Amino acid sequence: MKASSGELPLITGGKTLSDVTRDVCTPIERGPTALWRVGMLFAVGALALGVLSVGYQIKTGIGTWGLNRTVGWGFDITNFVFWVGIGHAGTLISAVLLLFRQKWRTSINRSAEAMTIFAVICAAIFPLIHMGRPWLAYWVFPYPNFRGPLWVNFRSALLWDVFAISTYFIISLTFWYVGLIPDLATMRDRANGLRKRILGTLSFGWRGTARTWSRYETACMLLAALATPLVVSVHSVVSSDFATAVIPGWHANVFPPYFVIGAVFSGFAMVLTLMLVARKVMHFEDYITSAHLTAMCKILVFTGTIVGLAYMTELFIAWYSGSNYEQFVFNNRMSGPFAWAYWTMFSCNVISPQLLWFRKVRENLFVLFILSLVINVGMWFERFVIIVTSIHRDFLPSSWSGYVPTWIEVGALVGSFGLFFTCFLLFCRFGPAIAMFEVKSVLTRPVRAIDARRSASSSKEPSASESLSPSSSEEAPASDRDLTTAGAGQ
Amino acid sequence: MLTESVLLPGDLTDPSRRAFLQMAGFGIASAAMTGCSRAPSILALASPSASTALTPGVPYWVASACAGCSSSCGILARCRDGRPIKLEGNPDQLATGGGLCSTGQAEVLSLYDSLRIQGPLEQGESRSWDQADAAMQTLLNALHGKRGNIRLLTSTVTSPSTRLQIESFATQFGAEHVEYDALSYSAQLDANAATHGVRALPRVALDKADVIASFGADFLGTGYAPVEHSASWAANRRPDSGHMSRHWQFESILTVTGGMADERHRIAPLEVLPALAGLVELLSCYANRIEPTAKSLELVEGGEAVERLAHELWENRGKSVVLCGGNQFKAQLYANQANELLGAYGTVLDLAKPSYQKRGDDRAVAGLVEELEAGRVDLLLVAGCNPAYDRPDIAAVLGGAATIVSFGGTVDETSKLASWSLPEPHFLESWGEAEPVHGEWVLSQPTVAPLFNGRTLRESLAKWLGDERSDRELCDDYLREVVFPAAGGDAKFEDFLALARQRGTIEAPREELDQPTFNARAIRQPAELKADTSLKLVLYPKVGLRDGAHAHNPWLQELPDPVSHIVWDNYAALSRAHAEELGVAEGDLVRISCADVEGALELPVHIQAGQHDRVVAVALGYGRIGTDRFANLAPKWLEGNALIEAGETIGVNAAPWLRIVDGRQRSDVLDVTITKLDGNHELACTQDYHRLEVPEHLAPKGGEVRDVLQRTVLGAHAAHASHVGDAAAVNLWPDDHKRPGHNWAMVVDLSVCTGCSGCVVSCQAENNVPVVGRDEVARHREMHWLRIDRYYGGDDDALRVSHQPMMCHHCDNAPCESVCPVLATVHSSEGLNQQVYNRCVGTRYCANTCPYKVRRFNWFDYPRDDEHANHALNPDVTVRSRGVMEKCSMCAQRIQEAKNAAHREGRAIADGEIQTACQQSCPTKAIVFGDLSDPSSDVSLAMGRPRHYRALEELNVRPSVGYLTEVRNAPGTEASHEG
């Protein structure tokens, strides 16, 4: 992950600090563009379809899904695991890369974190609506009650999910919001009237003093340290839903690392998709540059290769285990009724990322965009393959069955994308999609000598200056407003 | 122990609080009874719990007799608050030993059929019985005066008291009584009359047979006494002693019986005759000590098997029997001759104490048809049968009767043609008796106050004869005059009757008929034998629906056929080779046509293993009018397919394709052609994959066959039994599942499980299992808690069918329990896996992880709109709502009931005191349930047998259900999954 910054400039276009503020804030203040409105129309449409589908399903019964006595989970848990996986990239980028001091994360971390929040929301919906009696979903929380010994079952991996997902959501939300505060303050400083008051409240009266910055940096590092284990834990716990079960194809020790790396893989693919769209729609070409894209491509190749290794490991262990049931499951995956799903998964996740070894592929944004979609399709199928192909033919041949989703299920999946993109577009519209204060820290354009206020806090993050040329000094803030956010720690 | 209680308000001599409550407990009864002046129902309760009979909410048992078919099995009806909720076989009846078939189990639902005719109807208009009687009296007198032709057409009448009334009626009015059976046994009866002078079916004691050869006789599934025959067949099929009978089956379609055979051969329908002729030739040679040759066998494909059979039969003469199905007179004669040569009469077959379960006479029907054709019948009384539906020769000429009076209890094809409908009550609400076997009676008595205003044929006829006795008096008088002198001994009649009603059965040392002698001259002229290579249509009855009389029973419609596992449809069954030749796949529509028959049968194809290549088989019993009543049965939702549209029928009626040959109804003689049609009709089948071998291209090395069902042959079993105990299970974990008290467990003997499915319906009735309809079953969402997995072994020519009843295994290390996030499924200290419906939120995680896939999820709120049908619900078992998981509880309510009783009486529960619903129903006693903590209990002993194994034992889930390896008496000593 020694990425990018050496060769390519992270921010292009000779941006000044005030350019950054202006470029990020203007689209928010100017009002929605036509492109945004079109995007929103599709997103809300999809969301409405999802609401209708899920509403109908809750009113009528789980029977409106294509599940049966043998295949008890299909699209529902596939979507759940898929969305949880998507979320991982945000945490990885914002927390792990922060700890590893990867400068290139600054342009994408805000969106990636937002993506995490929205993906986790999408994910959390599915375990709720997949219940036969969703109105009793609160029973999975260990709240104090008068039912005597009847409480939640701490041996159940589904209960671990409840804890893992809720923890993950709370930490991610906190981390994301804390990261937003300085930028909200910047926007506040540019606003008037009610907008100013709202932003003022949301930014907790941020003043940007050296002391504030100092404490802020510490808080971020602490939160990053808290969030980092979650990158590993959440998907490990999710994988336990399967790994702790007795069903061949689920019962696999390799699942926790396999799921985590798959999650990072799919998450980065989704970040790539979103960034390619955002830089086009929001005109962020100077902020999301080839350097960022190349860095993400390298991570995709890396994680994609590990995912391929995981698939091979599964196959090897199935063969090596000597268990007939285990061997059968993998034979059945590769050449049974769902072979098309397996090979879709395999080609999307193992073969397609290998194309990113080629510079020409990496630099062709259209191809890159398609590839990122292909990987997401592949990762969705990975979960589908794991869930459905394992249970549709397990121990007793008498109970083997198939699985065909209904339109209601498809509607729920489409709706989850609708929810995700609605949230994301709203965020782009009303929030700073690029972390201004962080981007400002990686501007490479020689700047004028900085005033004395800077030097006091520069020692707080010594590494931050490494990426700036030693001789560099910051340009004077273009306006007073920028002072509040531009500089602490630089 | 006799308790009498007066059930009807008009006769409430002592309107005590209890009697009142008993009345009030049954709402519809009181509503229906206001206009009802029926004779008092004085109830004699079966002994088990007579003392609690009158306590509201406390169940009691009433002994009665099943009239679901003419087998007349003794039953015990479990009643609560004056209504039956569950039927069980009467263990006091020696012949059946307490089993009950699926049809019998489902009768309790037929009782509550809200579409039964509620009282006399004239052209569909409601009339009182007085009006009906007046009209009938006038009509009868008028006809009597001018010597009009009165004909009474019935199915086999098993009740002697009804026969008496029919005789009196016939004498008085010059009427003729014609009996027919929709599934005709006329040829066999006629053959017995010819060879032995007895027009009756023999009592078959299969337990005394070491070699059983069946030519198309489905005696275990749809024969004339399947429960009795299954019980006696199974008695000699338990290999633990190292000895079991050898069962040969020659048949054209796969039947329940054929699937269980040790050696099964496909044979074309018309090859049965030459095969039997050849068999007789060979046996004659053996008897005459000459070189055995059989020219007839040249006409039979694979006649070599018949030669081996002949040798085996002869070697075991005196202990061997030949059974012949089909309604072919000559074939039955040959079978009788073979049995005579083998010395089967007097040993395995008993004509001195014959069965009266089938009496229909096709030649008498032919006479009636002639009269009808000529328009010479002035009054046709039709009772207990539906000729307009199931008898094409009569149906075609029914218009020739001036007046038709139907006694059918439901609106059927015949009652629609009738001027008068005088409905008979359901047998569970009326008095009666039957003599299924010479000298053995079963008594029926009402289990409920009549729901509707019906009257038995017996009482109606008596009334028209001016006999004012009540229905009950008619029965009692018969018992007094005929049965009591033979069976009563020294007792007073009232005491005799009381005891008999309590017990439900009477066996009398009634003077045995002489063992009739064989009249060899009956077989004067040998049959004309010819080879046959044409494509034949074979019509057959299915377990459950049989002749179609039960087509309005949703439990039976949704019962997976033991052979095909398809529900809610009939279909054109073809062999695989034949289907490939035609280029049709499962569900493709085909047209079956025949030069001799108008119209065509358009049906979906089912590819049936083990079927003859030149046969297309179609089930009878479908296409009944009014079956569109099930239109609202299935859940309704966007993508849900309606079970049936208004005006349609479930399946297609194949009965018009029955033929009359030599005066007898035949179901296997039509030459047909098949053409492929466009279109497809998805058949709802509960099983997608039918073999223990996994598909070849997916099979891992060494894992080609799933050993969940273990099967072997007798020789291998004997070898294996000598070194049992080698494989003691190693357990790494501490044994922390303490069972301080009971430890419930179950063992199923796969050797004697015929797949008859009585247990499936029994479980459904006991546990309020919903019916979900064709579409839901097609989506693999059937709800049966107990299913029977059926696996084929071998190829079509040597097919071996194995059945494995599969219910919750109540694992000690249950995978389902650890995964439930809300503890909705937990383990009891008595080894039961309990499902807590109230707590279940419906994640389905438990069902996913269940290795046996026995958990059932309520995908919808299944409609329970029919208030009548809801009276069949068991009040001891929760009706589950949508979104919760359910599964076999090992009849927890029965366990609890027995524990309560034992506790109250300060005693221990005796072994065998608790019988699960499936176990109780099983005719072959394949299921054993009991307490493992008692080392001498039946279930402990069964688990100690060398044959015992547990399915998927290697998973170490430690199931509480075990199986006894299926053993077939086939050659070889190698254990084999293939059989």
What pLDDT digit, counting tens, does each position of B611-669 carry? 999 999 999 999 999 898 888 888 888 888 888 888 889 999 999 999 888 888 999 88
Residue pointed to by tokens 């995912």: A307
Rounded-to-integer distance, Cα A40 and Cα A27, Å: 16
Q: Which of A179-193, B238-252, B504-518, B644-658 has the lowest mean pLDDT?
A: B504-518
User: Which tens digit of pLDDT belongs to each residue from B867-893?
Assistant: 888 889 999 999 999 999 999 999 999
What is the percent of chain B where pLDDT is above 90?
51
Contact partners, residue A158, CB within 8 Å, separation at least 6: A127, A140, A241, B819, B820, B821, B843, B845
What pLDDT was estimated at residue B3?
38
User: Residue B293 pLDDT more than 70?
Assistant: yes
Best residue in B565, B803, B808, B853 for a mutation probing chain A (most A CBs within 10 Å) = B853
Is the CB of A156 less than 8 angstroms away from the CB of B706?
no
Closest CA to B604 of B353, B774, B817, B838: B774
Residue from B792, B841, B954, B963 whose CB has the most chain A CBs within 10 Å, to mutate: B841
What dotted CATH number matches B9-116+428-507? 3.30.200.210
pLDDT tens for residues B401-443? 888 999 998 889 999 889 999 999 999 998 999 998 888 889 9
Q: Do A140 and B841 touch (CB under 8 A)?
A: yes
Residue B525 neighbours by CB distance under 10 Å: 6
CB contact under 8 A, B823 and A152: yes
**Residue B476 has which token pair?**
């009692």
> Which SS3 state, helix, strand or coil, does residue B931 take?
strand
Residue B726 is predicted with a pLDDT of 43
| pTM: predicted TM-score of the whole model, two decimal places | 0.89
> pLDDT tens-digit profile of A421-479?
999 889 888 888 888 887 777 776 544 434 444 444 444 443 333 333 333 333 333 33
Q: Which domains does chain A have, with CATH numbers?
A: 4-137+159-486 (1.20.1630.10)
Q: Does B689 touch chain A (CB under 8 A)?
A: yes
C-alpha B933/C-alpha A177 separation (Å) is 62
Dist. CA B753–CA B13, nearest whole Å: 50
pLDDT tops 80 at residue A31: no
What is the Cα–Cα distance from A169 to A83, expressed in whole angstroms?
12
In B68-200, beta strands by DSSP E: 74-80, 83-89, 121-122, 125-126, 150-154, 176-179
The pLDDT value recorded for residue B487 is 79
Q: What is the pLDDT of residue B554?
A: 93
Quick one: pLDDT at residue B824? 92
The single-letter DSSP state of residue B281 is H
Instruction: Report yes or no: B86 and B763 within 8 Å, Cβ to Cβ.
Output: no
Q: Is residue A101 within 8 angstroms of chain B, CB to CB?
A: no
Domain spans of chain B, in order of start: 9-116+428-507, 186-355, 547-677, 696-733+741-968
User: Can you give the pLDDT at residue B510?
Assistant: 58
**Fold of the B186-355 domain:** Dimethylsulfoxide Reductase; domain 2 (3.40.228)
pLDDT at residue A480, rounded to an integer: 39
B38 has pLDDT over 60: no
Residue B14 confidence (pLDDT): 43
Structure tokens at B124: 């569909």
Which two tokens mark B651? 């399946």
Q: How far apart are CA A157 and CA B820, in angstroms?
A: 8
CA distance B458 to B481: 17
Q: What is the DSSP letter of B527?
A: P
Integer Cα distance of A266 and A383 in angstroms: 11
| pLDDT recorded at residue B297 | 79
- In this prediction, residue B33 carries a pLDDT of 38
Q: What is the mean pLDDT of chain A?
A: 83
For A178-192, B609-623, B711-725, B856-870, which range has the lowest pLDDT when averaged over its residues?
Answer: B711-725
Most confident of A275-289, B528-542, B618-632: B618-632
Res. A75 pLDDT band, cuts 50 70 90: very high
Predicted pLDDT at A111: 83
Contact A123, A84 (CB under 8 A): yes
User: Which among B925, B576, B561 has a CA at the least distance from the CA of B760?
Assistant: B561
* Span of A20-29, A64-73, A219-228, A427-436 with lowest mean pLDDT: A20-29
By C-alpha distance, which of A125, A160, A65 is closest to B857?
A: A65
Mean pLDDT of A389-404: 93
Which numeric CATH code is attached to B547-677? 2.40.40.20
Task: Average the pLDDT over A135-150 and give the result.
Answer: 85
Which one of B827, B859, B882, B884 makes the best mutation probe of the A interface by having the most chain A beta carbons within 10 Å?
B859
Name which of B112-116, B511-515, B838-842 the model is least confident about.
B511-515
Provide the pLDDT confidence category of residue B579 given band limits of 50, 70 and 90.
Answer: very high
Chain A nearest CA to B754, separation (Å): 17
One fold for B186-355 and B696-733+741-968: no
The answer to whether B820 contacts chain A (CB < 8 Å) is yes
- Which residues in B lie closer than 8 A to residue A62 (C-beta atoms)? 842, 844, 857, 859, 883
The single residue listed with the structure tokens 């073979």 is: B338
Residue bearing tokens 């002749």? B547
Greatest extent of chain A over all pairs of C-alpha atoms, in Å? 79
Of B819, B839, B855, the CB nearest to A150: B839
Alpha-carbon distance values, B312 to B215, B419, B718 (Å): 15, 57, 21
Residue B860 to residue A60, Cβ atoms within 8 A: yes
User: A30 and chain B: CB distance < 8 Å anywhere?
Assistant: no
Q: How far is CA A141 from the centre of its chain?
A: 25
B884 near A CB under 8 A? yes
Quote the CA–CA distance of A213 and B398 in Å, as a whole number: 102
pLDDT at B562: 93
**Exposed, middle or buried by CB within 10 Å (0-12, 13-18, 19+), for B528?**
exposed
- Is the distance from CB of B262 to CB of B239 less than 8 angstroms? no
Q: How confident is the model at residue A60 (pLDDT cuts 50, 70, 90)?
A: very high
Give the number of other Cβ atoms within 10 Å of residue B647's Cβ: 8
Chain B residues lying within 8 Å of A155, measured CB to CB: 818-819
Rounded to 5 degrees, what angle do the CA atoms B925, B102, B749 make? 25
For residue B345 the two structure tokens come to 């009469």
| Total count of residues recorded for chain B | 979
Please give the helix or strand (H or E) that residue B903 lies within, else none.
helix B892-904
Note the pLDDT tens digit of each residue in A165-188. 999 999 889 988 998 899 899 888
- Say if residues B32 and B451 touch (Cβ distance below 8 Å): yes
Least CA distance to B779: which residue of chain A?
A68
CB-nearest partner of B687 from A133, A136, A398: A398
Q: What is the 3-state secondary structure (H, E, C) of chain A?
A: CCCHHHCCCCCCCCCCHHHHHHHHHHHHHHCCCHHHHHHHHHHHHHHHHHHHHHHHHHHHCHHHCCCCCCCCCCHHHHHHHHHHHHHHHHHHHHHHHHHCCCHHHHHCHHHHHHHHHHHHHHHHHHHHHCCCCHHHHHHHCCCCCCCCCCCCCCCCHHHHHHHHHHHHHHHHHHHHHHHHHHHHHHHHHHCCHHHHHHHHHHCCCCCCCHHHHHHHHHHHHHHHHHHHHHHHHHHHHHHHHHHCCCCCCCCCCCHHHHHHHHHHHHHHHHHHHHHHHHHHHCCCCCCCCHHHHHHHHHHHHHHHHHHHHHHHHHHHHHHHHCCHHHHHHHHHHHHCCCHHHHHHHHHHHHHHHHHHHCHHHHHCHHHHHHHHHHHHHHHHHHHHHHHHHHHCCCCCHHHCCCCCCCHHHHHHHHHHHHHHHHHHHHHHHHCCCCCHHHHHCCCCCCECCCCHHHHHHHHHCHHHHHCCCCCCECCCCCCHHHHHHHCCCC
Q: How far is B806 from chain A (nearest CA, A)?
A: 10
Asked if residues B452 and B118 have their Cβ atoms less than 8 Å apart, the reply is yes
Q: Which two tokens stand for residue A150?
A: 């009847």
DSSP B482: I
Question: B122: exposed, middle or buried (C-beta count within 10 Å: 0-12, 13-18, 19+)?
Answer: middle
- Average predicted confidence (pLDDT) for chain B: 86
Query: Class assignment of domain B696-733+741-968?
Result: alpha beta
Our CA angle for A148, A149, A150, nearest 5°, is: 95
